[in-house]
Amino acid sequence: MAETEVNGQSGKQAYTLAGGKTPRAYMRVDLRQLLVALAGERRSESLTESYMVVRQEANGTVISTTAAVTLGGGIANDSHLLGLHIHTALTGTCVITGLADETGAAKSYTIPAATIGPINFFGVKNAAGALTITCSNGADDDKVIAFWRPA
């Protein structure tokens, strides 16, 4: 094991601080550890000791009408809803269609008036029809942005 000591002397070299004082710190480095990936380390030269950087890329669609806004191609299983961000409290409701209940039947999800902030949908897939968002009040135009990506 190769070692480096910072406490007086290492091999043939002596280490001293400014003013001629001996350092009090002690450090031992096992060079074999430098060949092993450390926790959280990205090692692009190795396929087995590295990790892939994951970027959450998404389309962003601002909801600016009271008509239904279709995200994706308009058919079942073609889109993932990542989330919504509502920057000002809603005056009406927003309804999301294309989702399924526990039996697989199509269900709508209603976001109530006065909702504000981010809503995470964790990439839910529109398993029961076209993924649409309808905000009921014109005063809510441009307050909602939907983050989604194709399936």
pLDDT tens-digit profile, the chain (151 residues): 444 444 444 454 555 556 666 656 555 655 555 555 555 666 667 666 666 667 778 999 999 999 999 999 999 999 999 999 999 999 999 999 999 999 999 999 999 999 999 999 999 999 999 999 999 999 999 999 999 999 9
Q: In terms of residue numbers, what domain contains 38?
A: 1-43
> Residue 77's closest CA among 97, 98, 54?
98
- 83 and 110 share one domain: yes
Report the side by side order of strands in the sheet with 106-111.
69-71, 131-135, 94-100, 106-111
CA distance 26 to 7: 5
Q: Is residue 84 part of a domain?
A: yes
**Overall domain count for the chain:** 2
